[in-house]
């Protein structure tokens, strides 16, 4: 399956607690101009009406009929059955709503729903960071290639996803990559999300600046304060993002020790990466200590910042060498340096989610034919 060369059209949606963003994808590219509408999160009839009207509006703008609907929705959900569970950001769905079957009845085509963090990482694995890095390695003459991708989204919450060898990994209960509930390094009694989201940045800035949380600016403004482009407490702004980086880095370290692949970051806070990505990589390269005081690397692999040209150069070069096959004159390339790279989304979060949703739908359609 090559989504980039596929001519079929799939209608997509990126569902948030505040807005629904509708689009359609053909061959990994937008088939219509995307648009956003309020989600009406507290009124079930209005929310369902918004979903139906949005997809009808997309369908009317398409040059030909779509083959499926595929979209991201926050959990908890029974994604294979299309049933939405008790959501914090969309309270009108409490009790369980069979959204997928409802849309199938109305539009007469298959409907696929998945987690936004999962689809974000799937999109980046298909057309974003993963192929980008592998192309860089190829151009550098390195034998190294990556097949696995772990990713997180930093925004209202802290989401995640895993792809393994081109396949989206969901787990037996559709609860894989629930990174938000990993331990919080700086506040062990709280989930990692409380140190890895919008409110975490605002809270840390407010504490550092000596103001109330209600007075704290939005993260994009805190980022500009940290860069010296807006007035405010620059030291508190920088420290707020460094704290976020430390918490995120610790959570990513737990995941990468199991996944062993590249890592990608997206979400609404991701634009501030110059202030937090170095802290993430520093955390990944930090040490634990044995009782005797002997250091043990946080990760077996060495972590690299894929947005830092100097680190990218070392990452691509690795420790590549030619070794001789014993008893022959034949040589093979060998790179014994275990390493992981952490980079930002190459597609943009919404586009990655849409491409992930598109590819997931095509895969499911192929599986149903088989």
What are the tens digits of pLDDT across the range 297-312? Answer: 999 999 999 999 999 9
Tokens for 155, please give them. Answer: 């925004």
pLDDT of 54 higher than 90 = yes
Q: What percent of the chain has pLDDT over 70?
A: 99
- Report d(CA 306, CA 264) in Å as an integer: 10
Instruction: Read off the pLDDT band of 276 (50, 70, 90).
Output: very high
Average pLDDT over residues 137-160: 94
Q: How much is the average pLDDT of 19-36?
A: 92
Per-residue pLDDT reduced to its tens digit, 62-101: 999 999 999 988 777 888 899 988 777 677 888 888 999 9
pLDDT value of position 173: 82
- What is the pLDDT, as a whole number, of residue 76? 73
pLDDT at 345 over 80: yes
The rounded distance, in Å, linking the Cα atoms of 244 and 261 is 22
Q: Please give the DSSP secondary-structure letter assigned to residue 298.
A: S
Q: Is the dihedral of CA 90, 107, 61, 33 positive or negative?
A: positive
Q: At 179, is the secondary structure helix, strand, or coil? A: helix
Q: Any idea what the Cα angle at residue 249 is, between residues 71 and 303, rounded to 5°?
A: 100
Determine the Cα–Cα distance for residues 100 and 361; give it in Å rounded to an integer.
13
Q: How confident is the model at residue 339 (pLDDT cuts 50, 70, 90)?
A: very high
Under the banding of pLDDT at 50, 70 and 90, the label for residue 1 is low
Residue 206 has pLDDT above 70, yes or no: yes
Please give the average per-residue pLDDT across 318-331, as a whole number.
Answer: 94
* Whole-number pLDDT of residue 254: 96
Quick: pLDDT tens for 177-203: 999 999 999 999 999 999 999 999 999
Q: Average pLDDT of 161-184?
A: 91
Transcribe 36-102 into DSSP letters.
Answer: EEE--TT-HHHHHHHHHHHHHHHHHHSSS--SEEEEE-PSSEEGGGTEE---SS-GGGTT-EEHHHH
Mean pLDDT of the 154-178 span: 90
Instruction: Give percent of the chain above pLDDT 90.
Output: 81
CA 193 to chain centre: 14
Return d(Cα 128, Cα 192) in angstroms, integer. Answer: 26
| Cis-peptide into 186, omega within 30 deg | no
E strand spans, the chain: 9-15, 19-26, 29-30, 35-38, 68-72, 77-78, 83-84, 97-98, 111-114, 148-154, 158-164, 167-168, 262-266, 287-289, 295-297, 302-305, 321-324, 331-334, 339-344
- pTM, to two decimals: 0.92
Q: For the chain, first and last CA: distance in Å?
A: 13
Predicted confidence at residue 15, as pLDDT, reads 83
CB 260 within 8 A of CB 254: no
> Which domains occur in the chain, in start order?
3-114+354-369 (3.30.420.40), 129-346 (3.30.420.40)
Mean pLDDT of the residues in the chain: 94
Q: What is the pLDDT of residue 370?
A: 56
Return d(Cα 11, Cα 126) in angstroms, integer. Answer: 18
User: Which is more confident, 175 or 12?
Assistant: 12
Cβ atoms of 162 and 177 within 8 Å: the answer is yes
More confident residue, 127 or 367: 127
Query: What are the tens digits of pLDDT across the range 230-272?
Result: 999 999 999 999 999 999 999 999 999 999 999 999 999 999 9
């Amino acid at each position: 399956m090559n989504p980039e060369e596929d001519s079929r059209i799939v209608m997509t949606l990126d569902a948030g607690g505040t807005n629904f963003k509708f689009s359609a994808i053909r061959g990994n590219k937008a088939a219509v101009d995307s648009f956003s509408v309020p989600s009406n999160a507290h009124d079930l009839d209005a929310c369902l009406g918004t979903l139906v009207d949005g997809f009808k509006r997309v369908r009317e703008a398409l040059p030909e009929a779509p083959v499926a609907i595929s979209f991201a929705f926050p959990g908890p959900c029974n994604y294979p059955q299309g049933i939405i569970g008790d959501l914090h950001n969309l309270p009108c769905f409490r009790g369980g709503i069979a959204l997928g079957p409802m849309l199938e009845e109305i539009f007469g085509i298959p409907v696929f729903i998945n987690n936004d963090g999962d689809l974000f990482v799937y999109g980046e694995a298909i057309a974003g960071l993963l192929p980008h890095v592998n192309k860089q390695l190829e151009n550098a003459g390195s034998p190294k290639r990556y097949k696995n991708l772990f990713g997180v989204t930093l925004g209202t919450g802290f989401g995640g996803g895993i792809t393994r060898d081109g396949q989206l990994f969901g787990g037996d209960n559709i609860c894989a990559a629930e990174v938000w509930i990993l331990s919080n390094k700086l506040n062990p009694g709280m989930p990692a999300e409380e140190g890895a989201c919008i409110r975490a940045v605002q809270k840390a800035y407010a504490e550092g600046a000596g103001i109330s949380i209600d007075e704290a600016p939005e993260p994009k403004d805190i980022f500009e304060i940290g860069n010296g482009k807006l007035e405010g407490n620059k030291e508190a702004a920088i420290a707020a993002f460094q704290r976020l980086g430390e918490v995120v880095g610790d959570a990513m370290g737990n995941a990468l020790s199991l996944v062993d692949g590249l890592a990608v970051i997206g979400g609404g806070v991701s634009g501030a990466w110059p202030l937090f990505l170095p802290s993430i990589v520093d955390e990944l390269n930090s040490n634990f200590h044995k009782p005797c005081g002997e250091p043990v690397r946080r990760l077996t692999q060495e972590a690299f910042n894929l947005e830092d040209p100097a680190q990218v150069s070392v990452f691509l070069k690795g420790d590549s060498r030619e070794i001789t096959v014993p008893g022959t004159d034949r040589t093979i390339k060998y790179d014994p340096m275990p390493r992981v790279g952490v980079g930002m989304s190459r597609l943009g979060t919404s586009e990655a989610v849409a491409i992930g949703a598109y590819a997931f739908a095509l895969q499911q359609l192929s599986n149903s034919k088989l």
